Amino acid sequence: MRYAGFSILILLFVANAADVTLILKNYDNYAELKVFNASGVVFEGKVSSGDILKLNPGFYRFELSALDKTFVKEVNVSSDQVLEFNLGFTNSTEFLEITIHSIVFQGGYVEETILISNNGDLNFDGNLAISLPEISNIQILSSSLDFLESFVSGDKLIFESLLIAEKSNGTIRIAYTLKDNTMKRELRNERVILIPLVEIEDFKNLEKEYREIGGQKVVVYQGNGSFWVKFKFSSFPFAYVAIFLASSAVFLVFFTNRGGWDEKDRRS
């Protein structure tokens, strides 16, 4: 219901109810909101920025539908608070930070974890191209981020309509096989962390160091931007720890966020 002078949505008339003030950032229209607790739906209706919900203390799931997307937040309500939904979007990659973690196995098989961080104040919804070396095949192993589809165009792996919430990040795991014993990548500012389980004969634009991983001393090559590596595919001591290192989290623990919303219709 609406009162003169301010908007307030009264759900529960109880003494200890908390005020949850809704802020719809970068959005000036009405949106549809559903609020759930363990018992089911406790509110459903249109809201706008500045509206207030009165809720008993407890855990709630908020589903805000606007712009053909459903933005999801799960909140523990214990006192008066502000709940902000950012409905602003950009397709510019300016504020995306990308780190490519590569593991190279015998025979030229490569597994990579691509960590993508959105450091901007707007949600990212656009296409992202990742440069590839010369490969013979490729597959997507897993992803904590949503995108419409992926495909290879020239020497680029394209993620179409990739979604990353503001101040959020996620990972995409891929695998491919090198066409020969070299890896050349024309990158811009992407950071590269490469763990070879094979011998390296030569390399350019990377720094070599040793790290302790799971009790094993492992050679790690790091750099920013374009690089070149020549491998020697033969028996190599580190190949015996390949199974251990094949995990997507062998050298970093990633804190990922699926992007802050669920999409309607786009994945059907």
94: pLDDT strictly greater than 70: yes
- CA 109/CA 93 separation, integer angstroms: 29
Task: Give the model confidence (pLDDT) of 159-189 as tens digits.
Answer: 999 999 999 999 999 999 999 999 999 999 8
Q: Does 259 reside within a domain?
A: no
97: pLDDT strictly greater than 90: yes
Task: Give the model confidence (pLDDT) of 37-84 as tens digits.
Answer: 999 999 999 999 999 999 999 999 999 999 999 999 999 999 999 999
What's the CATH number where 37 sits?
A: 2.60.40.10
Query: Are residues 122 and 221 both part of a single domain?
Result: yes
What's the CATH number where 229 sits?
A: 2.60.40.1170
Q: Does 40 reside within a domain?
A: yes
Query: Are residues 39 and 78 both part of a single domain?
Result: yes
Query: Are residues 111 and 67 both part of a single domain?
Result: no
Total structural domains within the chain? 2
Q: Does 250 reside within a domain?
A: no
Instruction: Give the least confident one: 16-20, 45-49, 75-79, 112-116.
Output: 16-20
Query: Are residues 122 and 151 both part of a single domain?
Result: yes
Q: What is the β-pairing status of strands 18-25 and 40-47?
A: unpaired
Percent of the chain with pLDDT over 70: 82
pLDDT at 238: 46
Q: Does 124 reside within a domain?
A: yes
Q: Does 264 reside within a domain?
A: no
Neighbours of 67 (CB within 10 A): 17
Query: Are residues 83 and 100 both part of a single domain?
Result: no
Q: Does 260 reside within a domain?
A: no
Query: Are residues 160 and 39 both part of a single domain?
Result: no
142: pLDDT strictly greater than 70: yes
Q: Does 263 reside within a domain?
A: no
Q: Taking the model in full, what pTM does it have? A: 0.79
Query: Are residues 230 and 109 both part of a single domain?
Result: yes
73 close to 12: Cβ distance less than 8 angstroms: no
- CA 22/CA 43 separation, integer angstroms: 13
- CA 82/CA 163 separation, integer angstroms: 24
pLDDT at 262: 55
Mean pLDDT computed over 22-36: 97
Greater model confidence, 257 or 138: 138
Q: Does 262 reside within a domain?
A: no
Query: Are residues 83 and 26 both part of a single domain?
Result: yes
Greater model confidence, 79 or 263: 79
| Residues spanned by the domain of 235 | 96-245
Which residues touch 29 (CB under 8 Å, ≥6 apart)? 48, 66
pLDDT at 265: 41
